[in-house]
Amino acid sequence: MIITILSVVLIVIGLVFFFGAALGLMRFPDFYCRMHATGKGDTLSSLLVVLGFALYQLRDFHDFSHDWPVLLVILKLLAIVVFIFLTSPTSTSALADGGWEDGIEPIIEPGRANHLKDDCGPAEGHPAEP
């Protein structure tokens, strides 16, 4: 019973983060802002939801010699968690880099410096420094 409650709590927290990521993807004004919302929100919420379902599988586990397939399923779910945890930030970074190389200008408050230019160097598609 307590395992079910814990997994439901994990899944609901994950859904809240999914909602935040979707809202940020829809509402933010800028490509880099949208990358920020989806890169963080999607990673954490996928981890939480899959971990919740992995925890729920644990309720069928009573003794090892009889229930070892359940342990295998939990191991595969944890493999998905590790895989998403490694690949989602990687693809977010690569896509943000591709967007900068593609010449997408970030929206910057007037009077502030564009530090992306210092960090990433001038890209082909960007206008030269005035």
Partner 1 sequence: MTFEDFAIGVGVTLLLLMIPAIYRIVVGPTAIDRIVAVNVIGTKTAVLLVIIGVVFGRVGMFVDFALAYALLNFTGSIAAARYLHRVSQRGEDAPFGEEGN
Centre a 10 Å sphere on the Cβ of residue 126 and count the other Cβ atoms it contains. 18
Work out whether 55 is an interface residue with partner 1 (CB under 8 A).
Answer: no
Work out whether 120 is an interface residue with partner 1 (CB under 8 A).
Answer: no
Min dist CB 14 to partner 1, Å, is 8
DSSP state of 30: S
Min dist CB 21 to partner 1, Å, is 7
- For residues 42 and 38, give the distance between their C-alpha atoms in angstroms, rounded to a whole number: 5
Work out whether 123 is an interface residue with partner 1 (CB under 8 A).
Answer: yes
Min dist CB 127 to partner 1, Å, is 13
Centre a 10 Å sphere on the Cβ of residue 29 and count the other Cβ atoms it contains. 8
Work out whether 33 is an interface residue with partner 1 (CB under 8 A).
Answer: no
By beta-carbon proximity to partner 1, the closer residue of 111 and 125 is 125
Work out whether 67 is an interface residue with partner 1 (CB under 8 A).
Answer: no
